[in-house]
Amino acid sequence: MSAIMGRYGDDARMERRIHDPSAEGLTRDALVALQAQRLMHLLRKTWHENDFYREAWQKAKVTPDRIASIEDFRQRVPTVEKKDFIADQAKAPPFGLRHRHALGLGCPLVVANTSGTTGQGVEVHVQTAEEFRQTGHIYGFQIRWSGLARGDGVFLTLPVTMMAGGRCEFQGAVSSGLTVFPVGNYDAQKKLELIQRFRPRALFGTTSYFGHLAAVCPTDPSSLGIKVLLTGAEGSGFPWLERLEEAFGAKVYDRYGSTQSGNDHMFSCEHGIGTAARPGMLHNIDSMVLTEVIDPATGRHVQDGEAGEIVITSLYHTDTPLVRCRTRDRGVFRSHASCACGRPFSGVEVASISRLDDMKKVKGVNIWPQAVDDVVFADAIVDEYQVVLTSDDSHADVGTLRVMPKRPLSVEEIGGLRGHLAEAVQRKVGIQFLVDVLKPGALARSEYKARRWLDQRVHVR
């Protein structure tokens, strides 16, 4: 740690940086008491106002008056997940019963959806503008902890779209008093030109994209003057985060959130990513979001240092509640005592987060293997296939579809199959794949679609 700090001359900035003393200054016991108080209010209000959750709780024979503690809550209140949201939207399109209360308030809303290319349906997540304003407060922790100050320049490399990612970072950076350059819609060369012209102190975006920017940068990226890299929005290995620090001569501050919570809520403190031997911690903002890390098989909360599924309850979304949402993200739980900073927040270990299900994120787009399966096996000539994800020289994602036909094909047939599959896959998942046609017998057959995917990208390795 001290080696990293020394290397980037940040020793002077290593003082404990406090964003909200009313949360960061609490003892652990006082913080848990605050969570319990907010949780009980949320449960009572949700029971009265929200048909979606009330129905689910009635089915599980739970009423809020039977929940007296966070422990009761964990044991009795049922979890919800993507398929429940999709079913709810099918029942009451387009928003679902869970948003009916908020829609009736006659107040401005922030509407986000998940990318539509998943093969598993689009989730719609709404929050009121009043709730969304809290996004600024939450990002304030990350921005303060990373040493950024009012007026510092930050390049937002994510585009602002209907997806939550991008819009919430924009809100967070603007609310925190940064000078925000929204460059997400420009290509990498244009972004680099603008960085050279405006010399921002920080980049705010997705982890793998910063590696791509470094790789296509015509000069040494450390000459760009970037001091802070706000990474996140996808799982990555520790060596990749270290490489980013080396390449830019900057410090990485990572973050975690989920589409369903509509916000990031776990952040690196001033200790950053830590070391490979002892990675740092993403501190969950426990005063705002109740995060559990559970064993998906038993539902038991895991111990410090154990991996489990991240389950989220927002304590500040009281008009558009999110209660015990299973994220399908896996992470290593860290208790509040794990970090040298001494904050009372629990969290997960840096670089420990990955997907529990088989969703892949390629070129920033979520892809379920089922979607590719559907397209490829719709062609009767296809016997088996494999998808290989790699990184090109510029660290951009490359997807290659390797297809094994049932019989030997002529040159013309191979050309036709390649063209047809490339177009059909692009139409279905929204991104381009290279297509290789192999000889019969070249691939072993697989029963499991997830095993057809080989991920050899540099940021995942």
**Residues 410-439 close enough to bind Zn ion by CB under 5 A:** none
Q: 350, 164, 338: which is closest to 256 by C-alpha?
A: 350
Q: Identify which of residues 239 and 342 has a Cβ nearer to Zn ion in the complex.
A: 342
Q: Identify which of residues 5 and 409 has a Cβ nearer to Zn ion in the complex.
A: 5
Confirm or reject binding of residue 289 to Zn ion (CB under 5 A): no
Considering the complex, what minimum distance in angstroms separates the CB of residue 202 from Zn ion?
A: 19
Helices and strands (H and E) in the chain: how many: 14, 21
- Contact 252/241 with Cβ under 8 angstroms? yes
Considering the complex, what minimum distance in angstroms separates the CB of residue 395 from Zn ion?
A: 29
Q: What are the residues whose beta carbons fall under 8 Å from the beta carbon of 433, sequence distance 6 or more?
A: 387, 399, 400, 401, 422, 425, 426
**Residues 147-206 close enough to bind Zn ion by CB under 5 A:** none
Considering the complex, what minimum distance in angstroms separates the CB of residue 302 from Zn ion?
A: 20
**Residues 333-352 close enough to bind Zn ion by CB under 5 A:** 339, 341
Q: DSSP 3-state assignment of 396?
A: coil
Considering the complex, what minimum distance in angstroms separates the CB of residue 145 from Zn ion?
A: 8
Confirm or reject binding of residue 269 to Zn ion (CB under 5 A): yes
As a whole number of angstroms, the distance between CA 193 and CA 200 comes to 12
Confirm or reject binding of residue 5 to Zn ion (CB under 5 A): no
CA distances to 74, 155, 167, 183, 186 from 159, rounded to whole Å, are 37, 11, 8, 7, 9
Considering the complex, what minimum distance in angstroms separates the CB of residue 273 from Zn ion?
A: 11
Give just the sign of the alpha carbon dihedral 319, 324, 330, 336: positive
Considering the complex, what minimum distance in angstroms separates the CB of residue 342 from Zn ion?
A: 7
What's the token pair of residue 289?
Answer: 């979001």
Residue 374's Cβ-count burial label (10 Å; 0-12, 13-18, 19+) is middle
Binding mask 100-139 for Zn ion (x = CB under 5 A): ----------------------------------------
Q: Identify which of residues 91 and 278 has a Cβ nearer to Zn ion in the complex.
A: 278
Give the pairing type, strands 434-437 and 263-268. Answer: unpaired
Binding mask 300-339 for Zn ion (x = CB under 5 A): ---------------------------------------x
Give contact residues for Zn ion (rule: CB under 5 A): 269, 339, 341
